[in-house]
Amino acid sequence: MGFRQPPPDEAERHYLKALRYGDRKKREFNFKLAIQHFEQAIKLKPNNPAYHYRLERAFTAAPLLAVSRGGLIWRANSVNLQSLPSLS
């Protein structure tokens, strides 16, 4: 005899998907999908602080992730370097 948890509601399903897509160690890692699922969970249950906290953490990690995966290098290459002020 064990305790049964109720099945997750739609907001909880979005939250769980966001956690799965936001895990960089998983093969299905997709940062954009993680943020979309966090936002959808918040739309459905705006008073759940865990959803807001995890979305904030995802946005905080975004710049670090861009640097570690070369996103910042891509942006530097797309800028006209002639227009930047000289450092000398």
**pLDDT tens profile 14-69:** 999 999 988 878 787 888 899 999 999 999 999 999 999 999 988 887 666 655 55
Look at residue 14 and tell me if it is in a domain: no
pLDDT of residue 76: 40
pLDDT of residue 28: 79
Question: How many structural domains does the chain have?
Answer: 1
pLDDT band per the 50, 70, 90 thresholds, residue 70: low
Residue from 1, 27, 79, 7 nearest 16 by CA: 7
The single residue listed with the structure tokens 């049964």 is 4
User: What angle is formed at CA 62 by the lines to CA 57 and CA 64, rounded to 5 degrees?
Assistant: 105
Look at residue 57 and tell me if it is in a domain: yes
pTM of the model: 0.65
Domain with 37 in it:
31-70
